[in-house]
Structure 1
């Protein structure tokens, strides 16, 4: 009976994606012109001078490429918060059984240090569960957090908190949050936590484990300490113009709570929905998501610069859409771009680093090396 429910859930999700696929077909290989309503300022930051690394904040732009960032830099008239990065490298994204990866395998690589098969989350190629950076941090008594704008059972957050051979086993993946022990969890996907086909209420289970379960911002903002599972939407969070700066606010709230641990913390933050608009070839919405992510990067960089003992690493799991910038006007903040695919592409993705230890992230390397570098720098 359980298998039937899982298949139905997958069918519902597949049907929901059909409009995006249809829209992408109508936009592919066609030029789109985009500007933004209002540009935003960027603060020039001085990198911390110390060498001690107490905290690591790992930020993922799902589907983000250099072209995405350069396009956003152009529409913001020549400035991004990511410009403050001290070091830049390139990561190879292929997975164990395919040249073109997905977020399951791509995220598993930097969460666990292992290449795995397409669609797997937090397991090796044989389906064996792998410990992630959050597990290693927990073992060292560091605080841990995951902040995303997608449903929590989606691939990237699952790579850090769950273990399954198929990312589409949505209810099974969500259930793994009851055993992951991450201190601060923020995202969407409440339909997978309550009113489930198996009758479980994961919110109640998490509350019994000592978690607070706020469902709206005012309740989350009022929390002063302790473990948190904050799930704000039935599926993914709303588009940027509707949700506002919730990625920024929830990320800074995570930092506020996790930094209470004198031993340090590891936090993963994902700008999740760039990938969606790469798939649907919607350049306007893609730029809104990239800018939302960059504004969050700016706040995180500012905090890290003041803290002095925090390394921030920003990267992507893969590129989505095959975006090409074909024309534009920097003074007007205008871009003209087109997409070559409604799927992922196989290009290397950028890695940006800010703070102590940033110099370790230059060069060209495997995506698994991100795990190795962070694990070593936090001495886990």
Structure 2
């Protein structure tokens, strides 16, 4: 009887996980007038522009999913005139079109950034012919660098998955989770626990991760105390919740990952995704976008603080695409009020900004393909 109950609960978890994975696409805006009213701003520090080397030993690659210029300026307005991202003096733009569509999805957009190939919408770490392509994270592993992934979504979701998995469809969540066992990634923190334990094939990937030497933890407060070794932080059954519930999960997870990865004398590659800027765009919610834009910027602040002290770290900030066609129709720099309008609840085709800080930052000026971002990172970090 107990065995049957477990099977039933596992099936329910699987069914719920599959539904919950994409529930954000149908989210509705709670701010019906599309206005963020403004809150107390956080202080922004401007850091040194002097570095120890011409090329980076480490790269921190931050992806604001769905973040276009309007989302960035909404954040600047909401924080009353200043963001940490303004430390990045070298700025360019990325064209986001995929091999199959004028408007990319996060899978093809993520794969272009991670693997340097244009592919079809829905593809994870494979080219347009479904042939596996190594990501920059995997190539960094091959050269002995430490590697990490952090996300506010499920770690099996399209953007983080594109750095570590190779599947023909972004919806193959269990197969993507299994791909984590095929790598030596040092740290990954995000949601997606159900894809590791409530599986159709009966595998318990958490146990397999432990057998490979990972500390597996679900509580972000406990995760924050881990300073060394391999870490799998699975902080939600599927996606992490919104800001009012998850708090400072993203900057804390990023700081934790940096503490661990910095132990490697050869250097590291870390990808951090602020996933839910995109979800606010799908919901046409100015409040949602601004909350997550500010959370993402404070995470950028953690990265730049580390890079400024280290002197050998390149920080890159970009997006896989823009979401919602966000148009700023009103605002107030003194109160932080932001008002916006949205022509779509889907992605758009516009170029997205690329911000760079640290050794090699000058390479990221001008208009480039999203695959160029990958190629420039790879040349700077791995020399190829």
TM over 0.5: yes
2:42 corresponds to 1:40: yes
Question: How far apart in 2 are the matches of 1:70 and 1:310?
Answer: 26
Question: How far apart in 2 are the matches of 1:9 and 1:166?
Answer: 19
Alpha-carbon deviation of 1:38?
1.4
Question: How far apart in 1 are the matches of 2:313 and 2:59?
Answer: 6
**1:14/1:182 Cα in 2 relative to 1: closer, same or farther (>3 Å)?**
closer
Moved more, 184-193 or 238-247: 238-247
**1:183/1:15 Cα in 2 relative to 1: closer, same or farther (>3 Å)?**
closer
Q: Deviations over 1:113-149 (max 9, x none)?
A: 0000001110011111110011110011000000001
Alpha-carbon deviation of 1:206?
1.0
Question: How far apart in 2 are the matches of 1:47 and 1:246?
Answer: 28
Moved more, 250-259 or 36-45: 36-45
Q: 1:104 aligns to what? A: 107
Alpha-carbon deviation of 1:53?
1.2
Q: How many residues are treated as equivalent by the alignment?
A: 372
Q: TM-score, normalised by structure 1?
A: 0.94
Question: How far apart in 1 are the matches of 2:36 and 2:26?
Answer: 22
Q: 2:67 aligns to what? A: 64
Q: 1:12 aligns to what? A: 19
Alpha-carbon deviation of 1:221?
2.8
Alpha-carbon deviation of 1:272?
0.8
Alpha-carbon deviation of 1:16?
3.2
> Which residue of 238, 248, 252 corresponds with 2:251?
248
Q: Show the 5 A alignment for 1:254-273.
A: 254-273=257-276
Gaps of 5+ in 2: 1-10
Gaps of 5+ in 1: none
> Which residue of 296, 299, 312 corresponds with 1:296?
299
Q: Deviations over 1:340-361 (max 9, x none)?
A: 1000000000000001110000
2:378 corresponds to 1:371: no
Q: Show the 5 A alignment for 1:1-380.
A: 12-13=19-20, 16-17=23-24, 19-20=26-27, 23=28, 31-50=33-52, 51-378=54-381, 379-380=383-384
Alpha-carbon deviation of 1:218?
3.6
User: Contact 1:214 / 1:229 at 8 angstroms: preserved in 2?
Assistant: yes
3-state SS of paired residue (1:47): coil
Question: How far apart in 1 are the matches of 2:18 and 2:305?
Answer: 43
Alpha-carbon deviation of 1:31?
4.9
User: RMSD across aligned C-alpha pairs, in angstroms?
Assistant: 2.0
Q: 2:4 aligns to what? A: none
Alpha-carbon deviation of 1:332?
2.2
Q: 2:6 aligns to what? A: none
User: Contact 2:193 / 2:237 at 8 angstroms: preserved in 1?
Assistant: yes
User: Contact 1:10 / 1:168 at 8 angstroms: preserved in 2?
Assistant: no
User: Contact 1:213 / 1:231 at 8 angstroms: preserved in 2?
Assistant: yes
Q: TM-score, normalised by structure 2?
A: 0.93
